[in-house]
Amino acid sequence: MIECEAGSIVKEREEQLVELGWDDFFAKQLSAKDRKRGQPGRIVEAFRKRFLVHLGDRVVWALARGAMFHRAKSRTEIPTVGDWVIVEFTGSGDDEEGVRLWRRLERRSLLVRQAAGEQTRPQVIAANIDTIFVTCAIHKEFNVRRVERYLALVEESGATPVVILNKADLVDEDLQEQVREQIAQIAPGVDCIITSMKDGRGVTELEDYLEQGHTIALIGSSGVGKSTLINELHGEQIQATGAVREQDGKGRHTTTTRQLVVLPSGGLLVDTPGMRELGLWQADESALEAFPEIERLGAECKFRDCLHESEVGCAVKRAIEDGELEEERVESWRKLKSEIEFQRERQREIERIERRRGAKISKNKSSS
């Protein structure tokens, strides 16, 4: 009888977690040991080794086990906002001293970039995101090449991109359509929504993505209106907003931390700090999928390793000459490919350094 009641409680808890994005992908990862140890929850805020975890029926603070950090081969393996984890209760109540993260479940997607600066290290933005709103402001500083970079970042993450062209009230309709056409050319098949938080334009289209349990993340530069957009979707002010300089359209970083917010509609939103630098981290070819037409044409080139520069039989060069493809678009592809190769070599060097360091530590331990 007691086991039956316990099983019913576990099932009820997991049903509550569905509202936070829980599904079979995560449920199948739970072992009997996990269920015995604690219960699943989703991280809504992260501060070093302290995490705010939503358990479906309540929110608790939890400390991560030291092993979760010591055994991590990379910063990307450390729990972050959006992660599903097993929470273990070791004390008499829900106080922080008696709550800890037992383990992190496998992720469905991970948004990560090369951290700003010269040092090679990843900056994890959020995990288990379904759709990413690439948010831009339509003004004189709009840069389609920057949108390409954001789309490449989304391709690496495994999430689905949607381009948001915000602050439409600042420009006329002709310019709006010109920008929309530019997006259609660089991102065929990707949804593009024109919005204005002043008159509510596009809000209904955005709300279509906010289904129960569906996780959205917003990325974009400072001043593009991400926080204002979140406040509009939530129905109240939950994020601070800042003024934008009229001369260059740039704003202050009003959002400085990441937080998973449950919206009244049932959807979930992750706001992110503005990104001044866009560096790829994973260093694999998936980011190049943001250039589908170049990848398709590349398959028709005479040489498999064609760089689309001066090679004979290059289908990409032929498309440029025929006016079917812009040279700037191809140049962006070249820069991205070079960055992937450069980032890959940097990561290999870090791995070599870490292996030498590990071998040295092992040698010192064995001799002592």
Helix-, strand-, coil-residue percentages of the chain, each rounded to 5:
40, 20, 40
Q: What is the token pair recorded at 80? A: 């972050």
* Residue at 366: amino acid letter: S
How much is the pLDDT for 343?
65
Buried-exposed string 215-226: b where 16+ CB fall within 10 A, e elsewhere: bbbbbbbbbbbb
Estimate to the nearest angstrom the gap between the alpha carbon of 232 and the chain centroid.
21
| Averaged pLDDT for residues 201-225 | 88
Residue that wins the pLDDT comparison between 8 and 121: 121
Confidence (pTM): 0.71
**pLDDT tens, residue by residue, 36-76:** 888 999 999 998 889 999 998 889 999 988 888 888 877 78
Report which secondary-structure segment, H or E, holds 201: none
pLDDT 10s digits, 261-316: 888 888 998 876 654 445 444 545 556 666 788 878 888 888 888 878 878 888 88
Domain ranges of the chain: 2-104, 110-271, 291-367
Note the residue count of the chain: 368
CATH class of 110-271: alpha beta
- Per-residue pLDDT, averaged over 332-349, amounts to 71
The Cα–Cα gap between 294 and 290 comes to 9
Least confident of 6-10, 159-163, 360-364: 6-10
pLDDT at 325 over 90: no
What are the tens digits of pLDDT across the range 77-127? 889 999 999 999 876 555 556 789 989 999 999 998 765 444 556 778 899
The CATH label, of 2.20.25.240, 3.40.50.300, 2.40.50.140, 2.30.110.10, for the domain at 2-104 is: 2.40.50.140
CATH topology (fold) of 291-367: Ribonucleotide Reductase Protein R1; domain 1 (1.10.40)
**Is the model's pLDDT at 248 over the cut of 90?**
no
User: 47 to each of 50, 62, 79, 213, how far by Cα in Å?
Assistant: 5, 10, 10, 24
